[in-house]
Amino acid sequence: MTQSIDIPIWLVIVLAIFTAIALVDRIFAPSVRWYFRRRVNDAIDELNSRLDLRIRPFKLTRKQTLVDQLLYDQNVIDAVELEHENTGKPRMVLMKEAKKYAEEIVPSFSPLAYFGIGTRGARWISEFVYRVRLGYTNDDALKQVPKDATVVFVMNHRSNMDYMLVTYMASNRASLSYAVGEWANVWLLQSLFRSMGAYFIRRNSKNPLYRKVLASYVQKATKEGVTQAVFPEGGLSRDGKLSAPKLGLISYMIAGFNAEKDRDIIFIPVGINYDRVLEDRILTSKKEKEATGRDFRVKLSAIASFVWNLIKLRFQGRLYRYGHACVSFGKPISLATFANNNKVDFSKHSENDVTINQKNRKAHFDGVEKLGEELLREIGAIIPVLPVALVSTVLLQNLDKSIGELELKSLVFKLIQQLEKHGSHVHIPREDRDYTLTTGIRMLTLRHILTTDEDGLYKANPNERLLLEYYANSITHLIDVPKVARKSKTKKSDE
């Protein structure tokens, strides 16, 4: 019993390592986890005290917990059963598919990633590329939004910069949860978007089970009060105009909504406009090829050269940036008030109800269509009018003429007066209309969209007519339909 046993030195080292790991795991790790969890909770409480719209507990729930909630949601189980009956696939196979869809959709929000990296990065990039300005905003109406309501920002979609611009401009109000498409579902980028609360969607998927899982997640997030941001147009505008609404996500949000019992959903219209959209030639390339035969292709070398040139000009102090980027926030729209005023009962329809009858389905989508029209109308009414859009509109009206600078500015001033008269929100940097027009002319001249002849007269470049139309189209609805439900107001700000 007292005999000694020889043990190899390597085994002693291995046992010592495992003993140390066990001690750390059982004694020290719980205390460390508790400490850091407490610090995170304190940080979240501090953030919530500063934000107008609090971060909801649902958004802070672990991803795996949310995935499990989706898989055992009765609506998803019913959808699996229906798919089994229709296709004959085994239920276990369908549940694995549903799990894959849930893991793909559900985000893993990190307040540190959103406010520590995301909003700061969005601010730096936005201000590096543009002169960012806040346009029209109805602060009194925004302050009256109920604290327990679910808030959904609805905005026009001009550029992929919209995500960064609105994240930056709304960073003191809320943390936004976006729906992002397949373009962002790539290595490294997807992890960043998920940590910022974005959820991924397959925009053109016809798979019924996938759509049920997506609908369940959107409904859960909405009912739990998660602040979201959606683009009712679906994709980027390719001609500069407001597109017809595609209301799939909004339909999911409001399906089954009971105005008397449920948490109200408040839609906040957001209007966005740019003096230059980074993707304008890409967006108009198809139409350009049809009209002129010219083909615009994106090359990695060209993108790298473009970015390097921006950085070089910035450090040389010769970068004008790309003009102004302006965001306006409109008057909130209550879903409960809308449903009562329009006598629409969304509670009779659920996107996840596989037994819904056609009459209730039609009534639901008729109500969604009405809501979509009102949202697009409100968004269109607050889209900021910027210098390039003004100059482009006048140039299109005088395509065959050479115009002096004074005459061009005179025509633009008349257009400004017309827009102001009808309640549009014209952005006047430095409170100087002459400077406003100078910036618009300069932007178009630098891009050779506007040319000058030997006498110094301006004329639109006929080879760039599509781009002129693209920028003029951003405000054409304000000219063609002048009567908007807004009090006339011109937004002025410092440069």
CB-based contacts of 470, cutoff 8 Å, min separation 6: 239, 240, 277, 280, 283, 284
255 plus 127 within the same structural domain: yes
Residue 396 and residue 445 in one domain: yes
Cα distances from 166 to residues 78, 161, 376, 448, in angstroms, run 38, 9, 17, 30
Length of the chain: 495
Tokens of 319: 């970068």
Contact yes or no for 237/158 (Cβ under 8 A)? yes
The answer to whether residue 439 sits within a structural domain is: yes
Where do the H-state alpha helices sit in 430-464?
433-446
User: Structural domain of residue 303, as residue ranges?
Assistant: 279-321
355 shares a domain with 411: no
User: What whole-number distance in Å separates Cα of residue 170 and Cα of residue 147?
Assistant: 16
Q: Residue 446's domain is classified under what CATH number?
A: 1.10.10
State whether residue 273 is helix, strand or coil.
Answer: strand
Say if residues 221 and 258 touch (Cβ distance below 8 Å).
no
pTM assigned to the model: 0.83
Number of domains in the chain: 4
Q: Are 242 and 353 contained in the same domain?
A: yes
The Cα–Cα gap between 170 and 122 comes to: 11
Domain boundary among 331, 365, 382: 382
Single residue among 12, 30, 50 that ends a domain in this structure: 50
Q: Which residues pair with 151 in a beta bridge?
A: 266
CATH number of domain containing 239: 3.40.1130.10
pLDDT of residue 32: 53
List pLDDT tens digits, range 212-267: 999 999 999 999 999 999 999 988 899 999 988 888 899 999 988 888 888 999 99
> Along the 495 residues of the chain, how does pLDDT read in single tens digits?
566 766 677 776 877 787 777 666 666 556 555 544 555 455 555 555 666 778 888 888 889 999 999 998 998 999 999 999 988 899 999 999 999 999 999 998 888 888 888 888 999 989 988 999 998 888 787 778 888 899 999 999 999 899 999 999 988 888 889 888 877 777 667 777 888 888 888 877 888 999 999 999 999 999 999 999 999 998 889 999 998 888 889 999 998 888 888 899 999 999 999 999 988 988 888 877 666 666 656 566 766 776 777 777 767 666 667 889 999 999 999 999 999 998 888 876 665 554 556 666 777 788 889 999 999 999 999 999 999 999 999 999 888 888 888 899 899 999 999 998 888 899 887 778 888 888 899 999 988 899 988 888 999 998 889 999 999 999 999 986 544 334 334 344 444
Q: What is the DSSP letter of 178?
A: E
